[in-house]
Structure formats: structure tokens, C-alpha cells
A and B are shown apart, each in its own frame.
Chain A
Amino acid sequence: MSALRLRLRPRAAIGAEAARAGRTGDRILFALCAGAGLLAVFVLGEVVYQVISGARPAISKFGLGFLVHSRWAPNFSAFGAAQALVGTVITSIIALSIATPLGIAIAVYLAMMAPPAVRTVVGPLVEMLAAIPSVIVGFWGLIVFSPFVANHIEPALHNVLGFMPLFGAAQTTGFSLLTAGLVLTIMVLPIIAALSRDLFLTVPVELTEGAAALGATRWEIIRGVVLPTTASGVAAATVLGLGRALGEAIAVLQVVGDGTGIHSSLFQPGETLAARIANEFTSPESKLHIPSLFYLALILLVIGLVTSVLARMIATRFDVHRSLA
């Protein structure tokens, strides 16, 4: 209709003013959107710059040796990241290795097996788990979960797997890397479960029907069609979960026990990068304390960025085979 009118009427008659207004609107829109995009880049750059410059004194003092020294004694100006680094890695491994299979199982159930009544109730509840502020999860971990871990989980694991140093004698408090890992599991689980469920629901019904028509069982359909089609997305969901596990400070701080030294047993109290930064930033005890905390932050930042890039690479690798033509 408007195309027709355009052709019939001389160009000037359309209303040059209206046209200019349209162009101005476009320009404003462009400026707003481009500005928002640039702002994100600027914030990232600014944070990286501040972290590096804040850490500089510690970097020049300790160098890369900082990564492997475990002694952290601010009043003696001895700083090393190894203990917190190991704690971060261990708690994240615990969280992801439990939350990933569990989250995928929840997602498979919600997307493909649950009756609609269950789906509409349980689905939002799982998402709500992610909405619980971390300080509340940590509080629950502190009051309720830690004693439970100390009294039940640690003895049970020690009885069965005690031959491995990983599962040493049970401790009395329950403040440990294991407890921190399990609390992180609870926080990571809804992310992986909710995102995976949404992904499974995007698998075209044509594909699952095609598989069913070939005499495939439900498990064969899930394993052979649903999971491979969504693998990149599930990997990305897992990395998002990892991001939360790496960066979570408060809930971990509440249950990890603020221990010193690296121990073979998961039942010993420990420390993570994020928890230590949150705990000590307000009360520096020596000149290099704050720069050392910045150095920890830098390590955390690098780990976070590397995992993010890794996730992107995984995603693109799988993505080639993904969408249905």
C-alpha cells in the first residue's frame, strides 16, 4: 500500500520532515544501542585495568611464585595464592560434578517425562532455587547443613572410601571444602537444570518423532538425538554454573571454615579465592595485603575469562551440526 503510494506521488510530497524525523530516530536508536555495547566493553576493560594496577605491587614483589606458595599470613607479610586456588578448584569440581548430571536429569524429567501438572509446579520451583540470595543459602549451610555433613555425610564417606586420603576422618564442625562444594552444588544446580530444560524443549519434535518412528526407546532418543543436538548449549549452561561456583564468595565464606594450609582431606576447612577477598578486604593488616587480594582477584578474573572463552569454543564446535536445516 505505502509502496504504491510512494511510486505514485512525487518524492517531496511524502513529507521531508517526517522522513528526517525517521532518520533522526534511527540515529538516536543507533547511538543508544552502540553506546550500550561500548559501555559493556568499557566496564570490562576498566575492571581488568583496576585489578591489574591494584595488584601491581604484589605482582612485582611475589611474581608468579605467588601462585604456588600456600602460606597466607598477612601480619608477617607472607602471601601466596595456592591454598585459595586449590580450594576454589576443588569446590568448583565438587559442585559441577554433582550438579551437572543431576541438573541434566532434572531437565530430562521436566522436559520429556513429567506430566504437565508436575511440570508446571516443579519447573518454577527449580528456577526459584536460583533466586534464593546466596547469603541465605550460606546461612542455611552454616546452621543446618554443616552439622548434617559432619554427622552423616563425612562419616559415611569415610567408612566407604576412607582408604583414599581424600576422605579422611570426619571433623566435628562440618566447615570444610566438601560442605562448601555441596552448598555451591545447590546454587549451581538450578542454573544447569533450568537452562538444559529450556534447551531440551527446543529440540524439534520432528527429530524426536523421527527417532521414535525408527523403533528407538525413550532412552535411545534422549541419548542419540536430544543430548547431541543440545550438547553445545548444555556445555554453555555448565560453564555458566562454573562461573557462579568460581565467583561465589558469601555462601562459601559461611561454610568453608577459613582454614589454613592445603590438606588432602576434603573434610578439612579451607579457603577459596572469592571467599578470601570478601573476608579480608575491609581489614588489611599490612602494606601488601590489599595488593595481594587484588592479585587473587586477578587470578579469579583470568580463570573466569578463560572458562568463558573455552565455553565459546565448545559451543561453536558443536554448533556446526546443530540447527535443523
Chain B
Amino acid sequence: MTEPDDQIDRGPAGERVLGRVRIQTESLPSPAAPAPLPARNGGAPLIARDVVFDIRDMAVYYGDNQALGWTTFKIYRHLVTAVIGPSGCGKSTFIRSLNRMNDAIRGFRIEGQVLYHGHDVYGAEVNRVEVRRRIGMVFQKPNPFPKSIYDNIAWAPRNLGMREDLDARVERALTQAALWDEVEDRLRDSALSLSGGQQQRLCIARAIAVEPDVLLLDEPASALDPVATASIEDLMRTLKNRYTIVIVTHNMQQAARVADQVAFFTLDPGADRVGTLVEHADTQTIFRNPKDSRTRDYVTGRFG
């Protein structure tokens, strides 16, 4: 195990220094202008919120195929933003583009800008390892490492040089993920001995152990039973006090239960099946009074 200083691939010197301080969003440059206020249905503004992601004209291509049309909207701090839409509409492509998980996919190309606290995530000087350390991700299928429960949580902090009080860090992460009480006595057991729901909470604990700023959840409950799903949803309601959460779900009830804001994507039939953002608004508006007829059809179950 090396100290971060030895790891040349972590990026230029300036970034490494940044990487070693405890990340607090307040310390990062915020956009100069106050966050634009999303209008409620009647035009009444919501409370002013910090913008975490400012997505401008984002388009994604895999080779020659466009997967996601030009998408523009903002994701606000300490809110749960749900991304909903039918299968194949680019939900996963969208969320995986926020922490550069698509970089490894051959032919991946992105246009427009993804500004994270004002910094372009795809900027030339940006190190994607650093991006992912701040923007954590939990996947559809629980993917604990074949290590002990403890080592699953401690692995990433160790890599990042957060060695002090590792035990306390592990306990804190597990507590925040509402798993501590269940695994307290068996931290040395293999993580694969946990149930599916526990494994998924372990993956959430693993993601928050490195103190990210944002949690991206890509259909985190779709492989789980209703009881485990409920516990994950409870967890999201608690976690949004500390983190900004973006969740992809194909389950509209889930979006209605946990999200503060909803972005509805669909397949644009006119443009060669490209995923498109149809509407982004707060949850109430999307479900009770959507502006776009396609949104209404989808949330009322007439489509998709």
C-alpha cells in the first residue's frame, strides 16, 4: 500500500493536495450566480439551493449511435433527484456519465458540459479517479467484494490514505447505512454471506465510507424484495441530509416516495430512438400536474 504521494496516477500535484483535505462542498468554488430557482407549477419559487450538477446540453454517443439527446437541467444539494423513464431511455447512461463510469466503454463520447460545483467533470485537467472519489455510486446488482464485511468498507479509505481511526470510520459508515446492528458481531465474515438487501446496504456503506459529496444510485432496489427495498428507501431519506442523491429507478412509486425532484426521460421516437429529457420538476409537479403530455401518460401508467 502506498501513500497518496507515491501514486502518480492520481493526478497533478495540485489535485493530490485537494484529494487529501477533507472534502467539504462549502470550500469548493460555487457558481457566482445564485442558484436559479426551479419554478413550481404556479411559478412560486422553491427555496434557494446550491447547485451540485449543472448539466448543459449533455449528449452521449456510443460510437455512431447517440444514446442521449441534449439534456439540460440542474441537480440540487441535499435533495433526492430521481431519474425515471422507460427501459432504454438513457437513464443509466445519464447517471454513469456524472462520475465518468462510461469512460471505459468503447466508443463513448460526450458533448456539452457536466459542471460539478462549477468544474467541468470532463475537463482536460480533471482526474476521473478524483471525480469518482467525490461522486460515489451504487449499482443495480449488489456487488460486494469477496472480502470480509470490514474490508469491504475499509478498502477504499485505505487506498486513499485515510488510515486514522479506520475502525471508527467503518462503524460510522455501517451505522449511516443502517447495517451496523446487523453485522456488528460478524465484521470478519465474508460479505457474500449477507442477504441481498444487506449486501446492497453494505455497498452504500462502502460508498459513503470515503465521504463523498454525491451518491449516485443506479436502480439500487430493483434486485431486492419489498422489505429490503423499503429499508433502502428509508435510508435514502436519512442520507439526503448529508449527501446529494441521484437515483435511477424504473419504479414510479419509488420515485414518488423518495424523490424531491424528478427528471423524466423517454425515447424520442422521431430521432432514431435517442433518450431525451422530457421534463424536470419537483416530485409533486411531475406526478400531479406535469407540463408535458408524455410525462402524464407515463406517470399515469398509460405508457411504459
Q: Which residues of A contact B (CB under 8 A)?
A: 116, 204, 206-207, 209-220, 224-225, 228-229, 320-325
Contact indicator B137/A213 (Cβ below 8 Å): yes
Q: Give min CB distance, A277 to chain B, whole Å.
A: 43
CB-contact partner of B132 in A204, A214, A229, under 8 A = A214
Which residues of chain A are within 8 angstroms of B192 by Cβ–Cβ distance?
A: 321, 323-325
* Complex partner residue of A321 from B104, B136, B147, CB under 8 angstroms: B147
Q: Which of B9, B130, B206 contacts A214, CB < 8 Å?
A: B206
Interface presence of B276 (CB below 8 A): no
CB distance from B154 to the nearest CB of A (A): 11
A-B residue pairs, 5 tightest by C-beta: A215-B133, A214-B156, A213-B137, A206-B143, A210-B143
Q: Are B139 and A216 in contact (CB under 8 A)?
A: no
- Closest CB in chain B relative to A316 CB, distance in Å: 15
> Does B295 touch A at the CB level, under 8 Å?
no
* Chain B residues positioned under 8 Å from A321 (CB to CB): 146-147, 190, 192
Contact at A224–B146, with CB atoms within 8 Å?
no
Residue ID in chain B nearest A218 by CB atoms: B9
Cβ B146 vs Cβ A229 within 8 A: yes
Cβ-defined partner of B129 (8 Å) among A116, A215, A323 = A215
> Min CB distance, B224 to chain A, in Å?
13
Q: Is the CB of B146 within 8 A of A228?
A: yes
Residues of chain A within 8 A of B283, CB atoms compared: none
Q: Once bound together, how far apart are the Cα atoms of A228 and B152, in whole Å?
A: 13
Known: A320-B190, A325-B192. A215 touches B210 (CB 8 A): yes
| Extra inter-chain contacts (14) besides given A206-B141, A211-B145, A228-B146, CB under 8 Å | A204-B143, A206-B139, A209-B139, A213-B137, A213-B207, A214-B132, A214-B156, A215-B156, A215-B159, A217-B7, A219-B7, A219-B9, A321-B192, A325-B192
The distance from the CB of A160 to the nearest CB of chain B, in whole angstroms, is 27
Please state if A213 and B190 are interface contacts (CB–CB under 8 Å): no
How big is chain B's contact interface, by range? 20 to 34
Contacts of B134 in A (CB 8 A): 215
Please measure, in the bound complex, the distance between the C-alpha atom of A3 and the C-alpha atom of B150, giving whole angstroms: 50
Q: Name the residue among B9, B101, B146, B190 with the largest chain A CB count within 10 angstroms.
A: B146
Cα A220 to Cα B9 with chains together (Å): 11
Q: Are the CB atoms of B104 and A212 closer together than 8 Å? A: yes
Query: Which residues of B are at the interface with A, using a C-beta cutoff of 8 A?
Result: 7, 9-10, 99, 101, 104, 106, 129-130, 132-134, 136-137, 139, 141, 143-147, 155-156, 159-160, 190, 192, 199, 203, 206-207, 210
Given contacts A224-B159, A324-B146, whether A214 and B133 have CB atoms under 8 Å apart is yes
Chain B residue contacts of A212, Cβ below 8 A: 101, 104, 132
B203 CB contacts on chain A under 8 angstroms = 210
27 pairs from A and B in contact (CB 8 Å cutoff):
A116-B106, A206-B139, A206-B143, A207-B146, A210-B139, A210-B145, A211-B145, A213-B132, A213-B136, A213-B139, A214-B155, A214-B156, A214-B159, A215-B159, A215-B210, A216-B159, A218-B9, A220-B159, A224-B155, A224-B159, A225-B145, A229-B146, A321-B146, A321-B147, A321-B190, A322-B146, A323-B146
Instruction: Please measure, in the bound complex, the distance between the C-alpha atom of A210 and the C-alpha atom of B106, giving whole angstroms.
Output: 18
Nearest to B104 among chain A residues (CB) is A212
What's the least CB distance linking B223 to chain A, in Å? Answer: 11
Q: Name the A residues within 8 Å of B190 (CB-CB).
A: 320-321
Q: How far apart are the CA atoms of A278 and B278 in the complex, in Å? A: 77
Max chain B CB contacts within 10 Å: which of A210, A220, A224, A228? Answer: A210
Chain A residues whose CB sits within 8 angstroms of the CB of B207 once the complex forms:
213-214
Nearest CB in chain A: distance from B128 CB, A? 9
* A211 CB contacts on chain B under 8 angstroms: 145, 155-156
Q: Is the CB of B145 within 8 A of A216?
A: no
Could you say which of B99, B129, B137, B199 contacts A217, with CB atoms under 8 Å apart? B129
A206-B139, A224-B159, A321-B192 known; A215 vs B145 contact (CB < 8 Å): no
Residues of chain A with a CB closer than 8 A to B156's CB = 211, 214-216
Most buried by B among A204, A218, A324: A324
Q: Within the assembled complex, what's the spacing in Å between the Cα atoms of A320 and B192?
A: 10
Instruction: Using A206-B139, A220-B159, A325-B199 as known contacts, say yes or no to A213 and B99 having CB atoms under 8 A apart.
Output: yes
- Assess A215 versus B132: contact at CB under 8 Å? Given A210-B203, A224-B159: yes
Given A206-B139, A224-B159, A217:B9 Cβ within 8 A = yes
The distance in angstroms between the C-alpha atoms of A228 and B143, with both chains bound, is 15
Specify which chain B residues have a CB less than 8 angstroms from the CB of A322 in the assembled complex. 146
* Interchain CA distance A217-B141 in the complex, whole Å: 22
